[in-house]
Structure 1
Amino acid sequence: MTDVRIRNLWLKLMDEMERRLADVGETLSNGDPIRLVLTRDKKTGQPSTATFDLHSLRVSLITAMYEEGVPPEYLMKIVGHATVLMTLYYTKLHVETLTLRMDEALLERQRKSQAEMAGFIKSASRQELEQAVVYRHPSALDAASSGTGVGLLVMDHGICPVAAKRCHEGLVVQDLTSNVTRFQAVPGGASNCARCRFFMTGPAFLFGLEAHVNDLSYRLKKASLTFEKAQERFDSLSDAHADALSGGAPFHKQRELEIAETAFESSTAQVDEIALSLQAAYALWFAGSRNRK
């Protein structure tokens, strides 16, 4: 009997709320009136069902409290369930909430794996490192196995065993004519670890590496668009200059041609550097993926 009275009271509340919303001109986004009462008694006109029933409110409350971190064993006592399983059944989590929690768990697991990798590198022998990590140059193993581990810099996409202190000599340049290897500054410095001889990575850093590859791909696309525009401008002025010379006419855009040439050379160099960085990052990611298997 009590349940019936509560239900009738709830229906009257929904009816009154619907009326008040209509009085103040509140509508849905498409202009339709807001309906909180689904059906009415044909004889009396009183509400018989509502859009939001009390049971739905109960489920919404349980779900909201669970999403805010209230343990299910506490909720079980609050709502009067006999088992925790029943309480969990009543939690209707949103897709966004599930995605967020899964992402958080994945990130936490990734951080733990990266910390474990860093701890391993501090104590591993050179032979163990060769089997466990992916690297571009033996300098990475030399720095990791001979150091104390204090200089380890752990990042999302890998580890720098020299704490980003030797970026000025991290790029390996091979002189093909003299067969001499030289070490130069890494283009972009500490933001371009994938090109550095000291950089190492592995399966624990694959998500970070993948994000780095995607970022470089996006940057390469933007740089390519800039390159195409610069090339188009330079070619147009070059053709005009050639036509003027062949026809013996004066060329009045020499300064514009020089600026266009500089811009063209700059955009070409930028595309080359990003493409080389992308190739290096992808090679590390591919090697790390194979190691995971």
Structure 2
Amino acid sequence: YNPIDNPTNWSSCKRTNLNELQLKAKGINCFLFRAYQDIEPQSVGNSLTPRLAAALYNVQPSNLELATLSGKEATLNQYKSKYTPHSMRVSLITAYIMEMGMPIEIVMKVVGHSSIVMSIYYCKITQGDIRKRLEQGEKEALKTRVDATQSLIEQNKIEKVKNELVSNNEELLNSLTNSIPAGNFIFRDYGICPYAATRCEDGGELNGSGTSLRVPAPSGYLGTQNCLRCRHFITGPAFIGGLLSITNEILFHSNTQSSQCTKLQSKITMLEKSLDELDRREYVANLKNEKIDLSERKILELKIRKTESEYESAAKKMDMLLCDLQSSYKLIKMTQSIANQKDSLSLVKMSDSEIEISLEETSSFEQLQEVCENATI
């Protein structure tokens, strides 16, 4: 499309502000943005800007205004847009680097920059983007710590990280030695099972007083292998990212289940009010020795029993999630306590360098976004 036979001499260009000496010094070039059967570039303000506005006007969705039309559709000058060719160029460079992850040296060649610094300057990053990348980097760093801990344990060097592990069972921690086969350990993002998930049946509480038998670990959000409530489960500061991630998932499902319980409770209340009204009408009819249709009573009582059954199931699931949440929060606090110990040498002394765990009220959408982000790391 629109080919040229030879490079264009700058001296033959008409649309330029350069003098003859400057034009002669530039020599020859092959211009990219040319009109049809032309050899030199058109003015951006007269050619590209209105065409871009017209293109945006014809592709814009109904709920987002990208450009406006103030006259005839066939006249390019009647199209206006606040998105200029330069702003579109900046946005595209930013998208290439920040969203697509394209190397800057490749972007520099694509957009025609003479140095990487120019491409970096064109990459516009907001505070939200910076915060998002920092949070993602922090989570990836925590995952790296998990891999390092797993590597040491698989090399039968668990005693090197033993002081950085926590558990609900102190006897289990004290019994960990380098002689334990590495195949006994199952590694997850949120902790370690030292028995290869083969002792879930005795991971719960004592089966009554005066006995040494244990009940199975209670089922929960993670199913029958509910490590969060198992006495054999081991975790530590290296797994704090996974613990926070699984806790956020449980919180999200707890809120969803709480909404379901609230809806069922409201439905039961409405049905009971309807039944009370029916009782009142029946009482008045009996006083007047009148007969009323009582078929509605059976329907209401049936609906109440069915809804109460659904509510009991939902409440039981809610209780299960809350117990998991309590156990995970306890493990997080224990992990936080280990991480804030000052036994190691600090090269830089900071008074507020301790790890802090905080709870904040968020929307359901923000919770879901956090869960989805954690699933991609």
Which residue number corresponds to residue 42 of structure 1? none
Distance verdict in 2 for CA 1:3–1:56, change over 3 Å = farther
Distance verdict in 2 for CA 1:2–1:161, change over 3 Å = farther
Which residue number corresponds to residue 207 of structure 1? 241
Distance 2:227 2:149 in 1: 18
Which residue number corresponds to residue 156 of structure 1? 189
- Percent identity of paired positions between Structure 1 and Structure 2: 24
Q: Secondary structure at the match of 2:205?
A: strand
Which residue number corresponds to residue 141 of structure 1? 173
Which residue number corresponds to residue 331 of structure 2? 284
Distance verdict in 2 for CA 1:138–1:36, change over 3 Å = farther
**TM, length-normalised to structure 1:** 0.67
Distance verdict in 2 for CA 1:140–1:58, change over 3 Å = same
Please tell me whether the aligned partners of residues 48 and 85 of structure 2 are also in contact (alpha carbons under 8 angstroms). no
Q: Which has the higher helix share?
A: 1
Name stretches of at least 5 consecutive residues in structure 2 with no aligned partner: 1-13, 18-39, 71-75, 280-296, 341-377
Deviation at 1:95, TM superposition (A): 6.6
The question of 1:198 aligning with 2:229 is answered: no
Deviation at 1:107, TM superposition (A): 3.6
Say which of 210, 213, 218 aligns to 1:182. 213
Which residue number corresponds to residue 152 of structure 2? 120
The question of 1:91 aligning with 2:126 is answered: no
Distance 2:313 2:50 in 1: 70
Distance verdict in 2 for CA 1:58–1:166, change over 3 Å = same
Please tell me whether the aligned partners of residues 160 and 200 of structure 1 are also in contact (alpha carbons under 8 angstroms). yes
RMSD: 4.7
Deviation at 1:173, TM superposition (A): 2.3
Deviation at 1:268, TM superposition (A): 5.6
Greater RCO (CA < 8 Å, at least 6 residues apart): 1
Q: 1:234-249 counterparts in 2 under 5 A?
A: none
Cα-to-partner distance string for 1:133-191 (whole Å, 9 max, x where unaligned): 1101136436743521213222221111222222122113263x42x343221122555
Would you say how many aligned residue pairs link Structure 1 and Structure 2?
A: 270
Say which of 3, 12, 15 aligns to 2:47. 12
Distance 1:17 1:90 in 2: 20
